[in-house]
């Protein structure tokens, strides 16, 4: 594995060395852009940009995945026609007429249904559940290849004049862990003629220099071989590739760290900052930033408020859940919840006192209806979680976020796990290679919980065609906020 990673990094390092001769530094300084009140504005430290308001939500309008895929195939053809004319999947179109700066355009083909279903569920499922497909903005996609970085910038200007652009991601500015760099431009395509859709379709144009395009092509076989050796199913393959293809979210990590330092844990920070709602909006995020300005030397969002927000909201939906805010902690809580439900919280109305007595049957707590650190470690031993996981869980469940000693876990803190679905979609938050583990416990009368559709969720059979999901990892329009307390 180490040899494969080093080889891919060496290929991208060579591409960087070849690209640096002409306009590389200027392209790396180009900011990301996002649509705000109908205008494409740069992200960054501009205070005027911050006062412009929240970013416009950008989602697909299809009600189901099949409709999205069908429209994506039509959009792929229209997108090619906008450049010049349709051509075959896997082939190139030399010197496209409407972007003359490009050497050629490459057609990777529209995203397949299986690929789209897995990507939507892994990246956006915890936020939007069954409607997560609406966040897929790259079902229809093409790649434009340019000789140098300077010419690529000219091509970007041509694309912005040719298409209605809603988002620009500059990965020259933030390369992925392997060193890959490109510019992703999301554009709107009119499908009112065929297939007669009354709303536009979002497509992706990737802009690359020739050295990086060649490096990506050479890395493809190595990456596939690496995934074949490490991954047992399509979902784990996608997760592995996403770690290597997407850049680290440094601003989001720093923001999360500062809020955790202020409130003790990310869960306590979420409750204090965004209240007891499922979704946090940009306005709430900005207000929280303003509230902390007088108490924190450097506020969580800092001068990069919009850019920090966009790292929490990669799907461009305009709102985030706790899972988007801290996916590791959300996954850990979901893992604990599934085991807690399996052992204790079955039935329609779990009784708090009865569950407390069951959990403490082998110990005598110092205080009723709560546990100290050692007592909680004892009662959670049957959950088969590591010491590190239990320590993290205690910090998350403690009402003070572990900032005040001694740390105490109350039974109501544990019972709040049952209301975790009010914060995000738990069915896709923890991924298992055989089934969705949060749908445990095993199905039997009076055991388990009813989902939003009212039926008792059961694990899929081994022969099911549903994609198989794995534990511990991770991403509709106008979903209502959840105001219920948890």
Distances (CA, A) of 173 to 138, 180, 213, 248: 21, 11, 17, 12
- The strand ranges marked E within 53-176 are 92-94, 104-106, 141-146, 164-170
Q: Is residue 167 part of a domain?
A: yes
Contact in structure between 309 and 386 (CB atoms under 8 Å): no
Please indicate, yes or no, if residue 98 is contained in any of the structural domains.
Answer: yes
- For the whole model, what pTM was predicted? 0.81
The first and second tokens of residue 265, run together, are 């844990």
State the residue for tokens 């000789």: 147
Q: Tokens standing for 177?
A: 């862990």
Q: How far is it, in rounded angstroms, from Cα 102 to Cα 348?
A: 62
Which pLDDT score is estimated for 175? Answer: 92
Residue 144 lies in a domain: yes
For the chain, give me the number of helices (H) and strands (E)? 18, 12
Q: Confirm whether 161 is domain-assigned.
A: yes
Question: By residue range, what is the domain housing residue 10?
Answer: 2-30+61-237
* Residue at 446 is within a domain: no
CA 58 to chain centre: 15
- Packing angle of the helix pair 387-397, 327-343 (nearest 10 deg): 100
363 in any annotated domain:
no
- The reported pLDDT for the residue numbered 347 is 67
Task: Name residues of the chain where pLDDT drops below 70.
Answer: 45-52, 293-303, 347-348, 431-486
User: Does a structural domain hold residue 143?
Assistant: yes
Nearest in space to 433 (alpha carbons), one of 475, 456, 467 = 467
How many whole angstroms separate alpha carbon 292 and alpha carbon 272? 11
DSSP reduced 3-state for 356: helix
Query: Which helix (H) or strand (E) segment is 122 a member of?
Result: helix 113-128
CA angle 142, 146, 148 (to 5 degrees): 150
pLDDT at residue 470, rounded to an integer = 31
Please spell the DSSP secondary structure of 247-294, one letter per residue.
PP-HHHHHHHHHHHHHHSSHHHHHHHHH-S-S-EEHHHHHHHHHHHTT
131 occurs within a structural domain: yes
pLDDT tens-digit map of 201-233: 999 999 999 999 999 999 998 888 888 888 878
- Residue whose structure tokens are 């069954």: 130
Calpha distance 251→305 (Å, rounded): 9
Look at strands 33-36 and 39-42 and give their pairing: antiparallel
DSSP secondary structure of 192-229: TTTT--SS-EEEEEEEEEHHHHHHHHHHHHHHHHHHHH
**36 strand-pairing partners:** 39
Residue written as tokens 């694309």? 159
Number of domains forming the structure of the chain:
1
**pLDDT tens profile 79-101:** 999 999 999 999 999 999 999 99
Q: Where are the alpha helices (DSSP H) in 302-372?
A: 305-312, 322-325, 327-343, 352-359
Q: What per-residue confidence (pLDDT) applies to 455?
A: 37
pLDDT number for residue 480: 31
* Neighbour tally for 89: CB within 10 Å: 10
SS3 at position 366:
coil
Tokens of 254: 């720093």
């Amino acid at each position: 594995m180490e040899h494969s990673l080093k080889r891919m990094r060496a290929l991208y390092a060579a591409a960087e060395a070849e690209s640096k001769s002409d306009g590389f530094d200027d392209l790396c300084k180009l900011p990301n852009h996002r649509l705000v009140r109908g205008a494409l504005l740069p992200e960054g430290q501009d205070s005027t940009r911050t006062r412009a308001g929240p970013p416009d939500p950008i989602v697909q309008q299809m009600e189901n995945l099949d409709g999205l895929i069908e429209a994506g195939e039509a959009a792929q053809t229209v997108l090619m026609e906008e450049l010049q004319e349709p051509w075959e999947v896997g082939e190139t179109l030399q010197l496209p007429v409407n972007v003359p700066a490009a050497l050629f355009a490459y057609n990777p083909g529209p995203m397949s249904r299986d690929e789209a279903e897995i990507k939507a569920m892994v990246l956006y499922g915890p936020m939007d559940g069954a409607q997560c497909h609406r966040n897929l903005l790259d079902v229809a996609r093409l790649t434009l290849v340019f000789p140098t970085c300077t010419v690529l910038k000219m091509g970007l200007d041509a694309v912005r004049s040719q298409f209605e652009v809603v988002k620009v991601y500059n990965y020259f500015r933030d390369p992925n862990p392997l060193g890959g760099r490109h510019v992703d431009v999301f554009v709107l395509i009119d499908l009112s003629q065929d297939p007669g859709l009354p709303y536009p379709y979002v497509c992706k144009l990737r802009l690359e220099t020739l050295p990086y395009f060649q490096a990506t092509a050479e890395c493809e076989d190595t990456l596939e071989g690496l995934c074949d050796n490490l991954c047992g199913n399509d979902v784990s393959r996608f997760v592995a590739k996403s770690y290597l293809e997407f850049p680290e979210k440094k601003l989001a990590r720093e923001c999360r760290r500062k809020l955790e330092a202020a409130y003790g844990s990310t869960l306590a920070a979420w409750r204090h900052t965004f209240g007891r709602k499922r979704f946090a909006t940009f306005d709430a995020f900005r207000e929280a930033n303003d509230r902390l300005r007088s108490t924190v030397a450097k506020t969580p969002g800092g001068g990069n408020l919009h850019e920090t927000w966009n790292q929490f909201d990669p799907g461009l939906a305009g709102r985030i859940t706790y899972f988007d805010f801290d996916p590791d902690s959300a996954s850990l809580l979901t893992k604990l919840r599934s085991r807690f439900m399996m052992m204790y919280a079955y039935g329609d109305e779990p009784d708090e006192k009865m569950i407390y007595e069951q959990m403490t049957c082998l110990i005598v707590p110092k205080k009723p209806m709560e546990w100290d650190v050692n007592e909680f470690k004892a009662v959670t031993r049957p959950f088969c979680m590591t010491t590190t996981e239990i320590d993290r869980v205690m910090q998350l469940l403690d009402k003070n976020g572990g900032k005040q000693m001694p740390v105490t876990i109350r039974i109501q803190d544990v019972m709040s796990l049952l209301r975790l679905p009010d914060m995000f979609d738990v069915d896709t938050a923890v991924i298992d290679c055989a089934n969705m583990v949060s749908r445990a416990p095993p199905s039997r009368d009076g055991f388990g919980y009813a989902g939003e559709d009212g039926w008792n969720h059961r694990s899929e059979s081994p022969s099911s065609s549903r994609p198989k999901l794995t534990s511990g990892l991770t991403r509709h329009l106008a979903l209502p906020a959840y105001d219920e307390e948890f």
